Amino acid sequence: MATPAPARVYSYLQGGPDHFPVDREFGDRLKEAAPDIVRVVKANRAFLQRSVRWLAQQGVRQFIEIGAGLPVQENVHDIVQGVAPDCRVAYVDNDPIVLTHGRAYLDGDSTTVIAADLRAPGAILRSPELRDLIDLDRPVAVCMFAVLHFVAAEDDPYGIVEIFRKAISPGSYLAISHVSPGAGVDEVADMYTKEATEPGVPRTPEQIARFFKSLEMVPPGIVPVNRWRGHGRDVWVHGGVGQKP
């Protein structure tokens, strides 16, 4: 395992168990380049906890978390169990090690772990495992915590957001994290681009917010979907904007 992966590095930085020596070495170098990085990771985790509880309190009983970095403590399924035990959670990740551990760790009728990439939203939404667990005609929360920092401009983050917004029903939510490093952003991006399995594109909160331009935000980072999805389901079933071949 010669290449650090963002999900495993993130797990290491937040004190989770799912990482390898190469990820720990990379994470330590990140801390040197951007001393704020651990605070950012902890702030993102705290945002996840607050937002998932808030969403469950609004009556959401279905969650899709993308780039989960499993297994870690207090992930979505742990949090919602204390609020609404009937919730269903689909985790999406493209790291084969994370997927293997996650599937072993989560064994039940209310969770699933799907191999897919945020840059291919159609593949996520038409996944048989997801469709067996999640009913897209009922409210669902699509959680994109920190992953928009790993979507390059040419992969069309605007289009990815739009596909999810059009695919989910009214009463649903998009949940994102606004927290990003201050000092050391360029160094972090350069390190990920040169060395990790996915290039890093650390963005400011303002840059992330632009992907959701014209959409209302309730608590910072949570976007309600109030209008019915577009008539053209082809936009997410067969590809569309942001969809890789």
Query: For 166-201, how does the pLDDT look when each residue is reduced to its tens digit (9 = 90+)?
Result: 899 999 999 987 666 666 677 777 888 888 877 777
Instruction: Classify residue 243: in a domain, yes or no.
Output: no
Quick one: pLDDT at residue 27?
A: 92
Quick one: pLDDT at residue 181?
A: 62
Instruction: Classify residue 138: in a domain, yes or no.
Output: yes
CATH at 193: 3.40.50.150
Q: Between the CA atoms of 191, 196, 199 and 204, what dihedral angle is there, to the nearest 10 degrees?
A: -60
Quick one: pLDDT at residue 235?
A: 41
Instruction: Classify residue 206: in a domain, yes or no.
Output: yes
Higher pLDDT: 66 or 18? It is: 66
Higher pLDDT: 35 or 160? It is: 160
Average pLDDT of the chain, as a whole number? 82
Quick one: pLDDT at residue 236?
A: 40
pTM for this one? 0.84
Question: Is pLDDT of 239 > 50?
Answer: no
Quick one: pLDDT at residue 114?
A: 92
CA distance 43 to 46: 5
Quick one: pLDDT at residue 230?
A: 55
Query: Mean pLDDT over residues 31-46, rounded?
Result: 85
Instruction: Classify residue 244: in a domain, yes or no.
Output: no
Instruction: Classify residue 242: in a domain, yes or no.
Output: no
CA distance 34 to 186: 9
Q: What does each C-alpha distance from 16 to 24, 70, 180, 197, 234 come to in angstroms?
A: 11, 9, 20, 19, 39
Whether residue 80 contacts residue 58, with contact meaning beta carbons closer than 8 Å, is answered with no
Instruction: Classify residue 17: in a domain, yes or no.
Output: yes
Query: Mean pLDDT over residues 45-66, rounded?
Result: 91
The whole domain housing 147 covers 6-237
Residue range 112-166, pLDDT digits in tens: 999 998 889 999 999 999 999 999 999 999 998 878 888 888 889 999 999 999 8
Instruction: Classify residue 102: in a domain, yes or no.
Output: yes
Quick one: pLDDT at residue 215?
A: 78
CA distance 73 to 43: 15
Q: Which helix (H) or strand (E) holds 225?
A: strand 222-225
What's the number of domains the chain is made of? 1
Residue range 71-126, pLDDT digits in tens: 566 788 888 887 888 899 999 988 887 788 888 887 678 999 999 988 899 999 99
Angle between helices 6-13 and 37-57 in degrees, nearest 10: 90
The residue written with tokens 């551990």 in the block is 101
Instruction: Classify residue 245: in a domain, yes or no.
Output: no
